[in-house]
Every structure is written in structure tokens, then in C-alpha cells.
A and B are shown apart, each in its own frame.
Chain A
Amino acid sequence: MTTQTLSEVRPIRLHRYTTGKFVTYVFLFVFLGYFILPLIWLSIASTKSNAGLFNSFGFWFAKDFGLAQNLKDLFTYQDAAFIVWMKNTAIYAVSAAVGSSLISALAGYAFAQYRFAGRNLLFGIVLASVFVPGTVFAVPLYLLISKTGLSGSLLAVILPSLLSPFGVYLMRIYAEQAIPEELLDAARIDGAGEFRIFATIAFRLLLPGYVTVLLFAFVGAWNNYFLPLLVLGKSEVYPVTVGLAYWNSLAGQLSTHQILYPLVITGSVIGTLPVMILFLFLQRFWQNGLALGSIK
């Protein structure tokens, strides 16, 4: 009797379980489509000429495969402006990433390893500015910069981006977890100076956290639009984001500039690829960073 009821119950429960699982998978796949179809559309659109964009279905290729022509046009139009923008973005993102991660590592390490007067106050200020969005600083910065000679120079964008309060916060948490104090004490007894300890011992232990801050600073600078739009008046110093938005506005305003659409689309793909590749290869680091960031 009992064995019979058991065998009756089991398949039903299993069945309910698999239905729930099926529904969940359908739900998750629908949203996977929502998140990646626009990117697939963009990639397909980058292979089309202007006529192809208008004449063919968005999620399938046009008769003529125009990616090579689009790339050629993209890299030559307006005296190769796009290449200049890519170069500016690269300079800007690399200096923001290297500079801000180093500055954050130094500051975070100091907060984690030393007891000093004003430590809590200073860290409180850092923490408070994590919650102040960059745009709040962008406008005053623009007002100030427009009075100085710095306006229109890439430095006006690079210098402010060297500061990352969130990076300091992240490096402090990381340094507290990753650096055993006994190790530093041992090095001190051996006579190593504080800066040598940082450069040779602590920095190596901080490296995973350092790469996380580096990655987020790189992406933040690469994708930034508001500050560069404000402080950079000339096309020669534009980053890709400002340049693409500019071309798109030309294409939208003047029918004679409609030929710019394929360039904006292909440029969007080229301008996004480096960040995507970086995220794919450095998965471990950004996942670490998000995990650390969510710890109170």
C-alpha cells in the first residue's frame, strides 16, 4: 500500500517541478532576447549600406554585404575624424584607468593600514562623495574651466577623471581583507621602509582589487559623455561618444547627411567592442568588484 502511494506521488511532484523549470527558462530566454537583440540588430545593421538599411529587414542581412565599405568610409570621412576620436577615447580611458586606480590604491591602503588623526573624517568625506554623482561636479568644473585656458583640451577631461571616491572605498575594503598586518610588521622589523613595503609587498596583494578599480575606471571614462560634451568644444578632441552623437545629429537634421547613418552604426560597433572584450576577458575582476561593492 505505502509503496504504491509513494510511486503515485513522486511523478506528480516531478512533473510540477519540471513545469516550473520550463516556465522559468522561457521567461529567462525572453529577457535574454530583450537584452541582446538590440546588439544583434546593431551588428547586422553595420553590414548595410544606407539603401540597405532602409530596404531590408532589420534582423537579416541586405543583398550586398557592405561592412568593408562602411569601415573604409568610417575611417576616412572628414579627414579620418573617427580615428582621432578613437585615439582620444583611448588616451582618455587609459589615463583615467591607470591614474585613478593608482591614486585609489594609495589612498585605500592608507585608510586600511594606518591609524592617524582625521582618518574617520576624511573617510567620511570620501564615502559621502561616492553618493554625489559626477554630473554635480561636471557643471561647476565646466564653469571653472571655461574661464581658464584648459577649455577644449583633453586634460580638462583627464584630470578630473583621475579621482574615484568609489575606487578609494573599494581599495580600502580590499586592502583590509587581503593584507595581513603581521606580514607588514615582519617587513618593518626587517627594516623595509613604508613605501618599499607598499610597492613590493602590499601592491602585489592588492593587485586583484587594483585591476577591478582599473576596469571600472576604464569603462566609466570610455563611455563618458556629459563632461567631455561640456568641456571639449572642438571636434579634434572629442571622444567617440561625443563624436557619434554629433554625426547622428547631423544625419537626423539634414537629409543630405543621411549617408552618415551607416557610419554612426558601424562606429557604434567599433566604439563598443573594446569595452565588451575587456568585460569578457576580465569577468572575474568585475564580479569581484560588484561583490565587494555590495558589502556594507
Chain B
Amino acid sequence: MSVANISNSVKTRPWFRRGRIGQKIIPYLFLTPFLAGFLVFMVYPLIYALNLSLYRKKLVGGTSFVGLENYAKAFQDVNFWAGVRNVLVFGAMQIPVMLGLALLFALLLDGKLIQRQTIFRLGYFLPFAVPSVVAALIWGYFYGQSFGPIAQIAVALHLKPPLFLTPSGIIPSIANIATWQYTGYNMLILFAALKGIPEELYEAARVDGASDLQIALKIRIPIIMPAIALTAIFSVIGTLQLFNEPNVLRVVAPTVLDSHFTPNIYVYNLAFANRQFDYSAAIAFTLAIVTAVLSSLVLLAVYRREANPS
């Protein structure tokens, strides 16, 4: 009966499932939608832009091949490096604060000390659900002098309302928006990693008289190091791409947030406002290279530390 069934079903199988070659094609068929899209919408645009970045449009004589000239220009472009400097300062300030808080919250909420931790988990995560444009709008009003509650409280206390969007205040102000948005998200990733540690591991240490702090530093943090590394790498990558918040805040602080405040803002303005497509493609690629170098450095640093813990 079952033999008849099998031979029967072989006959009704479509051509690509008959025989050994047919069987071999099947995984590729499952992969086709993704791979096709990947080639068309990720690989091809990259090649197109790479090619574009090798040309330059001249006022006379049209577009001509210039080789790596656009890249040479990018490497000497003060505006580009000023933007890179801004995002690096931003990252050096924001990432340690955000991940430090996220780790602290995760450790506290995973411990036995706190009951009703759901309200904190949900509340801290809530800003992640807000679009970054809306987050920048809200904080833009908070920093503002017109109807922001911070200025209102200062005036009520007969103080001078603090200025946030000044040349020295702008980077911390944007860092605060990013911290507000993404701390809860990173906390939950670390929290999930902590939940995966078997309880017996710290029970044994506790019996030996280890304090909560010792257990956190010597057991829990080292075990979730891969998750911490993951959040660090994604934060570094995200930082270099900084665009949404400063672009939305430009309305309130047009002189401080100039047209090249971050590399992506520069790329956007080169392509959008100045129609310098070829040069903006070169800048975009240079940024991608800087991103790749930095995130592999972070990866290397983390794994070296993991390999020989001091």
C-alpha cells in the first residue's frame, strides 16, 4: 500500500522534484526570492554607485572618467572629516552611557531584588516604539525656548532658560535623544542574555559567600559578553550613520547643524541639494569603509579581551 503511494506520488511530482538533480535545486528555490532581491536592491545599487563614484561631471565636456580622483578629494575634504569627527565625539559620549545604563538596568531587573519588574521593562522600552523623527520632534520642543517644559520651569523659578542647541551643547543634546530611544532596547537584549544563564551557576558562588557585586562582575557580565559586544557593534555602526535626529533638529538650530554636520547629512545634501551625485557616491563609500574598519576594530577588541581575560 505505502509502496504504491510512493511510486504514485513520484509520478505526480513536478519536473524539478523528480530525480537527484531536481532534489538538489530545491534549497535554491527557497532562497531565490531573497537572493534575487538581494542582487537587485543591494548589490546592483552598490555597483552602480561605485561606478558612478569614478566619474565626474565637468562644466565643460560633460561627464568623464576620473578614476579615484573623487576619493582623493574625499580624503582631503574638511567638511567630510568634520562630520566624521562629530559622530565620533557623539559615539564616544553616547555609547558608553547608553550601554552602561542598559547593562545596569538589565542586571538589576534580572536580580531577585526587584518585584514588578515588568513595568520598568516595558516603560524603558517604550521610546523604542517611537519613530526617531517623533523622538527628535519631542526633544526639539523640550530643548526649545518657546513652549518646552524645561524653559517653562526655568522661567517659573526666575532662572535663565538653559540653551541646549549651542555649538558645544548640540552633540550632548542629540546624544540624549539617542540614549532615550535605544537604552531600553539594548537593555532587553542584555536582559534576555542574562535570563539564559542557569541559576545554579550563581547559587554555587553565593554559597561560597560571594556578594551580589562580585557575582555580577565575575560571573554574569563575562558570560553575556558576546551579547554586550553585539550591542556595542550595532551602536558603533548606527552612530556613524547618524542622520534622522540632526536632520529634524536643523529647523530649530540651522546655524549649528550645518549641511555637513554628520557624514550622512553631507552625502544627502551633496546629492539632493547640489546634485553632485558622483562625489556624494564617493563620500558614501568612504563612509562605508570607515564604518567597516571601526566595527571590525570593536569586534577585534572584544574578542581579544574575551580570549585573555585580565
Contacts and interface: CB of A to CB of B under 8 A. Distances in A.
Interface string A250-275: 00110000000100110010011001
A49 B310 CA distance: 60
B30 interface: yes
A122 B131 contact: no
Interface residues on A, range: 35 or more
Interface string A224-248: 0110011000000000111011001
B157 interface: no
A215 to B, nearest CB: 11
Contacts of B79: none
B59 interface: no
Interface in A270-296: 271-272, 275-276, 279-280, 283, 287, 290-291, 293-296
Given A114-B26, A133-B291, A226-B243, A271 B131 contact: yes
A245 B27 contact: no
B90 interface: no
B15 interface: no
Contacts of A295: 196
Interface stretch (A7-15, A32-40, A74-82, A204-212): A32-40
Interface centre among B8, B30, B46, B113 (most CB of A within 10 A): B30
A191 B132 CA distance: 51
B34 A104 contact: yes
Contacts of A280: 122
B21 interface: no
Interface of B is mostly: helix
B149 interface: yes
Interface stretch (B65-73, B81-89, B140-148, B199-207): B140-148
B180 A34 contact: yes
Nearest to B190: A294
B192 to A, nearest CB: 4
Given A109-B30, A163-B34, A287 B192 contact: yes
B300 interface: no
Interface in A37-74: 38-39, 41-42, 45, 53-54, 57-59
A28 B17 contact: no
A163 B139 contact: no
B126 A276 contact: yes
A154 to B, nearest CB: 15
B41 A193 contact: no
A112 to B, nearest CB: 10
A168 interface: yes
Given A31-B105, A58-B147, A248 B138 contact: no
Contact of B284 (A34, A139, A163, A190): A139
Interface string B44-69: 11101110100000000000000000
Interface residues of B, number: 101
A137 B45 contact: yes
B5 A163 contact: no
Given A107-B34, A249-B251, A290-B189, A225 B114 contact: no
A285 to B, nearest CB: 13
A248 B142 contact: no
B195 interface: yes
10 contacts: A28-B105, A103-B34, A107-B33, A133-B291, A140-B49, A143-B49, A160-B42, A191-B8, A287-B192, A296-B230
What 9 pairs between A and B have smallest CB-CB spacing?
A58-B149, A140-B49, A191-B9, A110-B30, A252-B251, A291-B192, A114-B27, A140-B45, A223-B131
Interface of B: 2, 5-6, 8-10, 13-14, 17, 24, 26-28, 30-31, 33-35, 37-38, 41-42, 44-46, 48-50, 52, 101, 105, 108, 113-114, 119-120, 122-127, 129-134, 137-142, 146-149, 152, 156, 180, 183-185, 188-190, 192-193, 195-196, 224, 226-227, 230, 233-234, 237-238, 240-241, 243-244, 247-248, 250-252, 264, 267-268, 271-272, 277, 280-281, 284, 287-288, 291, 295
